[in-house]
Amino acid sequence: MRTASVEAAEVATPTEAPAVTRNAQADQVFKSMELINSVVEARTHPIYQRHGIHRADYPILDALSRHHPTHVLAPTQLARQLTITTGALTPRLDRLEASGLIQRLSVPRDRRRLHIQLTPAGQRCVGAVSLDLSSHLQEAVQNMGKTRLDELSSLLAALEKCLGLSNEQPWPVVGGDVGQCPRS
């Protein structure tokens, strides 16, 4: 006859996790991406500072600017597009509203809801920041040549697809499905 403590011990015995083989090439790709991201962040920080915004605020302005023609989104839509919580979004919206770059609009038929609208000053700001960022990034890759830049763009597009990103959704969706990776 088995005792309860023996049965409990058998149940509590951990099973071995399957062995994970590391892919050195994939590791190197992601290390390179992390390094590039760090360098880009450090070099673009002065651009955001010059325009009086935080780096974390730019994606909000960018998302609103892409929502034509009204430049209006609900906070939950914004949070979902930016893969942040509404709680993390609120202080950013407060900062942008205080700067006059966005405004909160009440929804006429439901006073509990708000929409976020990009102001004309916000449109000018996001346009200026976008131009400065584009100029900076063009300068950074100018020595690569058109062929290598086309190849890099193609490879990055394939990686974005593998990660479940799309042109319509420039910021990743949390919990989104991983896309189908093209193979060559």
What pLDDT score was predicted for residue 177?
A: 46
Q: Is 61 helix (H, G, I), strand (E, B) or coil?
A: helix
29, 33, 35, 37: CA torsion to nearest 10: 180
Residues paired with residue 107 on neighbouring β-strands, in sequence order? 110
CB environment 11-20: b (16+ within 10 A), e (fewer): eeeeeeeeee
Give the pLDDT confidence score for residue 174 in this predicted structure: 44
- List the chain residues with pLDDT less than 70: 1-20, 166-184
Q: Are 172 and 163 in contact (CB under 8 A)?
A: yes
Supply the pLDDT for residue 178: 46
pLDDT at 62: 96
pLDDT value of residue 166:
62
Task: Identify the pLDDT of residue 121.
Answer: 96
Write the DSSP string, 163-180: TT--SS--SPPTTPPP-P
Which residue matches tokens 């916000």? 122
Give tens-digit pLDDT for 23-43: 899 899 889 999 999 999 999
